[in-house]
A and B are shown apart, each in its own frame.
Chain A
């Protein structure tokens, strides 16, 4: 099965800093999704993207659907301690399966 390449694998940042992470695929996707997972919990959907070039915000989070349809980016502005967690990207092509990235672990230092 396909797994997406997500980077960086982990990040340690100071509170208030901005965060950027990205996800790439060898295949074209029609949908890109970004999730946050807290320890021992299920992933929670943050942002959904449906069109190449689309830029969508959800509070301090902004995500973009790459124009090549093979990548996506997530930015978090002015990080706060509750942003700590693992962030996953997911993509869907022409089929019905969702493929997930390997996750970016974010640590925010107060």
Chain B
């Protein structure tokens, strides 16, 4: 079945360690996104990528890094520079319409990261 797979679902790390969250999609979507969700809040954009080997910072990119070496994969690294990394992280991808503008965004199941 086609979809977006995030792994792992739960992740625990010690403070000061970098950690990488996986996001894979087999929908043949060009665009991929990473969002952060905190309790009682909406989704805030961390990074997004429109094509392979290209990505742009979102609203809260500080302390995060990404790569887009393959169309199917968009891993997110939470670095030790991120001051408050404990959160629910969501990956999404979207298709492009004929006018080359993204349409709907489809989400993975999320990764809950807890830093202790």
Contact = CB atoms under 8 A, between A and B. Distances in A.
Given A31-B103, A43-B90, A100 B43 contact: yes
Contacts, number: 68
A63 interface: no
B34 interface: no
B48 A97 contact: yes
Nearest to A92: B102
A42 interface: yes
Interface residues of A, number: 27
Interface residues of B, number: 31
B103 A98 contact: no
Contacts of B31: 96
Contacts of B48: 96-97
A98 B105 contact: yes
B103 A43 contact: no
B107 interface: yes
A96 B106 CA distance: 14
Interface string B87-104: 010101010000001111
Interface string B54-98: 000011100000000000000000000000000010101010000
A7 to B, nearest CB: 13
A25 interface: no
Contact of A41 (B33, B43, B50, B109): B109
B2 interface: no
Contacts of A45: 104-106
B59 to A, nearest CB: 3
Contact of B90 (A33, A42, A50): A42
A67 interface: no
A102 B42 CA distance: 4
Contacts of B92: 42, 98
Contacts of A41: 109-110
B105 to A, nearest CB: 5
A-B pairs, 4 with minimum CB distance:
A1-B59, A42-B107, A100-B43, A102-B42
Interface of A: 1, 3-4, 6, 30-31, 33, 35, 40-45, 48, 50, 88, 90, 92, 94, 96-98, 100-103
